[in-house]
Structure 1
Amino acid sequence: MSNSTLKWIAIISMLVDHMGAVLFPQVIVFRAIGRLAFPIFAFLITEGFIHTQNINKYIMRLGVFALVSEIPFNLAFYGRWFYLGHQNIFVTLFLGLLAITLYEKYRVVDKQKADGYLFLMLFGAFIINSDYSIFGVLMIFVFYIFKKDFKKIVIWNVIIVLSMVLPNWAANAFILNPWLILQLGALVSLYIIHLYNGKKGKQIKYLFYMFYPVHLIFLYIASLNFFF
């Protein structure tokens, strides 16, 4: 399975997820399918980090689209232009890429500084509540640090997903909630990632960057027609 195939799987599952969240919140299967998307995007960020010819441009590109996507994200999910309570997925990807870039830069010469930058990015994701928050940045870091040991990637992803699910489960008096159970579907994406053959495939470099804000705008418009 090529890099571009992984991107298509992640993009389609993300679209289905967002359609469920914005237009069909009662159809939980849409959200279940959407659980596949983020782990694949997290993996692709580490692949981009490894193979990019210009890491600064890569970081800048994610940062720019994090800003561009914020208003469409706010409109689609919160019906308003400005909302500080939750930030879009590009913010998480940006922080994750920045975390592994700085960690790689300093891990040999100054391990304490490397760890400090990692903590800063994790804390930043938590404070601003970017999509997937601290867990999203941590997942990107896991794919990076254990890139040659898939068993550890699986173990740590299980830990991360369970860390997302168990506190909410405990807060609801350990009542089995279908939504919490479906979050475990994110682990299915690990099998898909394991099929990756290391090849680029047909390049769709800017498709995701453009698709993300554009599809959110269309979903917002569709939600207005759908409900009114």
Structure 2
Amino acid sequence: MSMLTLRKGITLNHFQLKLLGILFMVFDHVHQFFYIDGIPMWFTWLGRIVAPIFLFLSAEGFHYTRNRFKYLLHLYIGFVGMNIVSQGLQTTFPSDHMLINNIFGTLFLAVLYMLMIDRLIQSIRHHHWWNMLGTIGLMMIPVLLSFVAISLLSQEHISSWSLYIMYVLPIPILVEGGYFFILLGVMFYVLRKYRIGQIIFFILFSLMIGLLSGASLLDLDTNFQWLMIFAVIPLSLYNGEKGRSMKYFFYLFYPAHIYFLYILAYYIQR
């Protein structure tokens, strides 16, 4: 239950919070594909709250789902499917815009670590030390894959098989938001019983992102990712209720609107 649910005021359920994230996501991607046509910078400022909202909802969804592996599988299929379709579209409609959008990879890795953290905790509680060591080993695999990816990308010529592997393996260093967003999603899950702890961590995390950029927090032309701090408002209004069910809407709408905007930008900017 959220802090504000205890008062008689506005609250948001899971479905409403997801719709809010989708709305601001469209603003962000309209700026991404049409900024050279005069779309203002504040469109992408609004979009900064989107990733935290969906990382938060992924933690909630993982907690409540009856089949965690199926939940992971859906995210993985979304990741691979978008990589394949994006590559095909960029070949068919070559553009200056790069189709790098694929939040499914970030969500998959965040949820994967949620699963492994649960397994690690259970292993410690029941003194299953071999399971504990095995889980820690599994947790290190994505990190090691990041070093392999960095090594491959630093080469002058990248073999086609290396690219194909990256299309089917979500690698922390390559997914949207990288390690930072994966960590944020995991911490939303670890602290989900402590809403105030979630909020405090998220505020500090957002400010840290801004300070690490090296630019002033007021230099919003170059340092604007920290504006995700304003997601604290809708997250605080979350009431823990599911609301209306549209199970696969996000899985379809997310890639569909990106591809629509990409093709539209291709024809307009020709």
Give TM-score, length-normalised by structure 2. Answer: 0.72
**Cα distance in structure 2, aligned partners of 1:166 and 1:207:** 36
**Cα distance in structure 2, aligned partners of 1:58 and 1:122:** 22
**Cα distance in structure 2, aligned partners of 1:94 and 1:185:** 24
Instruction: Give the residue type in structure 2 aligned to 1:154.
Output: I
Within the alignment, does 1:158 sit opposite 2:203 as a pair? yes
Q: By how many angstroms is 1:41 displaced?
A: 0.2
Backbone CA RMSD of aligned residues:
2.8
Alpha-carbon contact 1:19-1:30 (below 8 Å) kept: yes
Structure 1 equivalent of residue 83 of structure 2: 70
Q: By how many angstroms is 1:157 displaced?
A: 1.8
Within the alignment, does 1:199 sit opposite 2:212 as a pair? no
Give a deviation string over 1:18-54, Cα, whole Å, max 9, x none.
1111112551100011011111100110111111011
- Seen in structure 2, the aligned counterparts of structure 1 residues 27 and 7 have a Cα distance that, compared at 3 Å, is same
Within the alignment, does 1:20 sit opposite 2:20 as a pair? no
**Helix, strand or coil for the counterpart of 1:67?**
helix
Larger Rg: 2
1:39 pairs with 44, 48, 52, which one? 52
Instruction: Give the residue type in structure 1 aligned to 2:204.
Output: I
Matched-pair identity in % = 28
Structure 1 equivalent of residue 19 of structure 2: 8
Alpha-carbon contact 2:48-2:227 (below 8 Å) kept: yes
Q: By how many angstroms is 1:104 displaced?
A: 0.4
Structure 1 equivalent of residue 123 of structure 2: 109
Q: By how many angstroms is 1:202 displaced?
A: 1.0
**Cα distance in structure 2, aligned partners of 1:116 and 1:29:** 43
Structure 1 equivalent of residue 220 of structure 2: 178
Alpha-carbon contact 2:31-2:40 (below 8 Å) kept: yes
Instruction: Give the residue type in structure 2 aligned to 1:227.
Output: Q
Structure 1 residues 191-200 or 19-28, which shifts more?
19-28
4+ aligned runs moved over 6 Å, structure 1: 80-83
Structure 2 equivalent of residue 220 of structure 1: 262
Name stretches of at least 5 consecutive residues in structure 1 with no aligned partner.
none
Count of residues in Structure 1 that have an aligned counterpart in Structure 2: 222
**Helix, strand or coil for the counterpart of 2:224?**
helix
Within the alignment, does 1:148 sit opposite 2:193 as a pair? yes
Within the alignment, does 1:49 sit opposite 2:94 as a pair? no
Alpha-carbon contact 1:73-1:213 (below 8 Å) kept: no
- Seen in structure 2, the aligned counterparts of structure 1 residues 148 and 180 have a Cα distance that, compared at 3 Å, is farther
Instruction: Give the residue type in structure 1 aligned to 2:251.
Output: Y
**Cα distance in structure 2, aligned partners of 1:202 and 1:138:** 29
**Helix, strand or coil for the counterpart of 2:221?**
helix
